[in-house]
Structure 1
Amino acid sequence: MKIGVVSDTHLSRSAASLPRALTEEFSQVDIILHLGDWVAMEIYDMLSQLAPVEGIAGNNDGYDIIQRFGERKIVTLEGMRIGMVHGHAPYSRKGTDGNALLAFEGQDVDCILFGHSHQPLMRRENGILLFNPGSPTDKRREKQYSFGLMDITDGKITARHVFYDSKA
């Protein structure tokens, strides 16, 4: 199974489109997981034209997005339990990855996906894959925009970042 992972799109209703690099890759995935800060439900509509979409809300999302997706969840794909949280809460004093770990403390997950910092990250802790795709539209201090791709094959999850220079 091929999974598109995105966070922090921060696109308003007036946004013309998602970046071409993202839409080209996500048109080839089985499912898209959005980790919050959509900002507008229209982003869901844009993504769902490419593949089925699951997500959670972030700290910049309104009531409609929070009601639709919730703020934390575990999805099971190909037998793998994937925790999804934006990363701003619960506050751990250990950065967004620490917040994400705290959000699923004591729960059986194979992978934790989170966003919020706009900083791509991939590492394993205690056998759990921690993955932040960065942002496809707001790179902040990063050199490039980014999103993520994951594969689940034979009970194993692999992930990688896709980096690019233009958000057009």
Structure 2
Amino acid sequence: MKIGLLADSHDNVSHLHQAVELFNTEGVELVLHAGDFVAPFAIVALQGLRSRVVAVFGNNDGERVGLTNKFTAAGWEVHPNLAQVEIGGRRIGVVHEPELVPALAAGGYYDLVVYGHTHEVEVRRERDTLIVNPGEAGGWLTGRATVALVELETLEVQIRDLSASL
């Protein structure tokens, strides 16, 4: 079972469309967004997904009522700080801020912790927990738009560069 990860899309609708195409092609069953969509109009770009979406707000998500309405209308979930998901026999925690990651990993409850905010790709293990920051899907800060694919059975991570296909 495969899931898709993204964060920090920052209203880059073009890259969101590319992420949707990639996630649909790869047959992901769940997409996790670690925050910073920014505006509600950007959520429309995700509506072509053939999977469920669970997300958290980021520090740049100021219009939370509008974002919540878009998520609710699509039948998806968005959480203020922490999203907890169980899928494929794995427990996953999703946050935006990296400051929360050490505590989530140290607790030993989660198999996978996903975060954003830094706009930098990171894949590492802390004890028995895989920690992934998929980088920035928006590509505005670094010039590199990335997302991640995770095979839940093996916890193998692939970082995919959306910028390369532009």
TM-score, normalised with respect to structure 2 = 0.79
The letter of the residue matching 1:43 is A
Please give the alpha-carbon distance, in whole angstroms, between the structure 1 residues aligned to 2:148 and 2:44: 19
Deviation at 1:139, TM superposition (A): 5.0
The letter of the residue matching 2:15 is L
Please give the alpha-carbon distance, in whole angstroms, between the structure 2 residues aligned to 1:2 and 1:56: 20
Q: Which residue of 2 aligns with 1:159?
A: 157
Kept in 2, the 8 Å contact 1:85–1:103? The answer is: no
SS across alignment from 1:10: coil
The letter of the residue matching 1:113 is V
Deviation at 1:104, TM superposition (A): 5.6
With over 3 angstroms needed to count, the CA separation of the structure-2 counterparts of 1:130 and 1:139, relative to structure 1, is: farther
Kept in 2, the 8 Å contact 1:86–1:114? The answer is: yes
- 1:84 and 2:97 matched: no
Q: Which residue of 2 aligns with 1:126?
A: 127
Please give the alpha-carbon distance, in whole angstroms, between the structure 1 residues aligned to 2:120 and 2:13: 24
Deviation at 1:105, TM superposition (A): 4.6
- 1:58 and 2:58 matched: yes
Q: Which has the higher helix share?
A: 2
SS across alignment from 1:18: helix
Query: Which of 84, 94, 104 is the matching residue for 1:74?
Result: 84
Kept in 1, the 8 Å contact 2:8–2:34? The answer is: yes
Q: Which residue of 2 aligns with 1:39?
A: 38
Gaps of 5+ in 1: 88-95
> Over aligned residue pairs, what C-alpha RMSD do you find?
2.4
TM-score, normalised with respect to structure 1 = 0.78
Q: How many correspondences in the alignment?
A: 153
Kept in 2, the 8 Å contact 1:44–1:53? The answer is: no
Q: Which residue of 1 aligns with 2:100?
A: 99
- 1:23 and 2:20 matched: yes
The letter of the residue matching 1:55 is A
Kept in 2, the 8 Å contact 1:6–1:134? The answer is: yes
With over 3 angstroms needed to count, the CA separation of the structure-2 counterparts of 1:16 and 1:137, relative to structure 1, is: closer
The letter of the residue matching 1:161 is I
Deviation at 1:61, TM superposition (A): 0.7
Deviation at 1:72, TM superposition (A): 0.7
Aligned identity (percent) is 29
The letter of the residue matching 1:135 is E
